[in-house]
Amino acid sequence: MSALEPRQRYNSYIGYIRQHFGERIQKVTIDAGFTCPNRDGSKAQGGCSYCDNRAFTPSYCNPQKSITQQLEEGIEFHRGRYRNARRFLAYFQSYSNTYAPLEKLKALYGEALRFPQVEGIVVSTRPDCVDSAKLDYLASLADTHFVQIEYGIESCYDRTLAHINRRHTFAEARWAVEETAKRKIRTGAHFIFGLPYETRDDMLAEAALISALPLTSVKFHQLQMVKGTAMEGEYKTYPERFVSFTLEAYIDFFVDFLERLSPDIVIERFVNEVPPRFLETMSWGKLRNVELLRLLDRRLEERGTWQGKLCRGKVE
């Protein structure tokens, strides 16, 4: 199965982390008080049309708390679910976590890396919020720590990025990914399936574009209509702009997508979980991520296929 291990049908992040650390490592989310250039008026206002940061931020996160306090409370929070977790990654998740002067970033990242049980940092940001100086600094940290930059790209199509108020281009995303990978920093990306005006074929075609990027890992999510967002309003008014997946259809679509994606790219997630209070309806019920992963595994086995099977230029 190409670059995959025997009997492995996709390149999983859990396997990648276990291979690196020899055990499970849990991410602890941090809200360090950042904003975004499409929120503060430097590029736009209102943020991405689908986004409500509260929908994916744990209750212990509060920018009024120090990095150390959030790590302490986050580790205690996760120990309730993952009792064997002993080491952690500080996950700077909320908003754009490189959107500040370099000296401020050094103070925030440095505080996290000094925490005794923290093995490294994962920094979520936008492609237009990094520059050479910031990347050089992160590369220096990567010499001694686990460092990953996770770029919100969301779509490979500029028309979509403009429509959802991202206010960056795919060319900017490509530059950021290439410059990050060039410095041997682990490079992640985030994409959403089901954005307005994108057809199923449009989404499948993104596999080749993503495969051409020097990415370590990718998170894929289905679009969810979070209450009160501009996207929810658009969906209610113009539902014909959207491809709405049933659970079975989404899993089959994602299997088709995986077949076209480079087997070298690690899959962090293929679905998104949003707390029910943020959604008008839960069309897939209340299935948790682990149950959805089982459904994906089963469908890959039923179809006798794997990540990269149809990826051009890869050896099967």
Print the domain residue range for 190: 13-303
What mean pLDDT is reported for the chain? Answer: 91
4 in a structural domain: no
Q: Is the pLDDT of residue 12 over 90?
A: yes
CA atoms within 13 Å, Cβ hemisphere of 46 = 13
pLDDT score of 281: 64
In a domain, 70, yes or no: yes
CA-nearest of 158, 156, 172 to 261 is 156
User: Is residue 295 situated within a structural domain?
Assistant: yes
- Res. 180: pLDDT tops 50: yes
User: What CATH number is given to the structural domain containing 68?
Assistant: 3.20.20.70
Per-residue model confidence (pLDDT) at position 172 = 98
Decide if 67 is inside a domain: yes
Question: Domain tally for the chain?
Answer: 1
Strands (E), 51-176: 88-92, 118-125, 146-154
d(CA 62, CA 70): 7
Distance (Å) of CA 245 to CA 149, 283, 315: 29, 9, 31
Banded model confidence at residue 315, pLDDT cuts 50, 70, 90? very low
Higher local confidence (pLDDT), 27 or 79 = 27
- pLDDT over 90 percentage in the chain: 78
Judged by average pLDDT, the poorest of 60-64, 212-216, 260-264 is 60-64
Q: What is the pLDDT of residues 70-100, one digit of tens each?
A: 999 999 888 777 667 789 999 999 999 999 9
pLDDT at position 85: 78
Write the pLDDT tens digit of every residue in 52-77.
Answer: 777 566 778 889 999 999 999 999 88
pTM of the predicted model, to two decimals? 0.92
Q: Is 222 inside a domain boundary?
A: yes
Q: What is the mean pLDDT of residues 108-114?
A: 98
Q: What per-residue string of b and e applies to 46-63 under the rule 16 or more CB within 10 Å gives b?
A: ebbbbbbbebbbbebbee
**Average pLDDT of the residues in 150-173:** 97
Q: What is the rounded average pLDDT of the residues 257-286?
A: 83
| DSSP code at position 247 | H
CB 158 within 8 A of CB 170: yes
- CA neighbor of 91 nearest in space, from 77, 69, 70: 70
Is 309 inside a domain boundary?
no
Predicted confidence at residue 151, as pLDDT, reads: 98
User: Considering the domain boundaries, does residue 132 fall inside one?
Assistant: yes
Is the pLDDT higher at 7 or at 104?
A: 104
88 close to 26: Cβ distance less than 8 angstroms: yes
Q: Binning pLDDT at 50, 70 and 90, where does residue 3 land?
A: low
Residues 219-243: what's their mean pLDDT?
A: 93
Of 263, 252, 172, the C-alpha closest to 217 is 263
In a domain, 240, yes or no: yes
Alpha-carbon distance of 181 to 139, in angstroms, equals: 10
Q: What is the pLDDT of residue 278?
A: 67
For residues 259 and 300, is the Cβ–Cβ distance under 8 A?
no
The span from the CA of 314 to the CA of 13, in Å, is 21
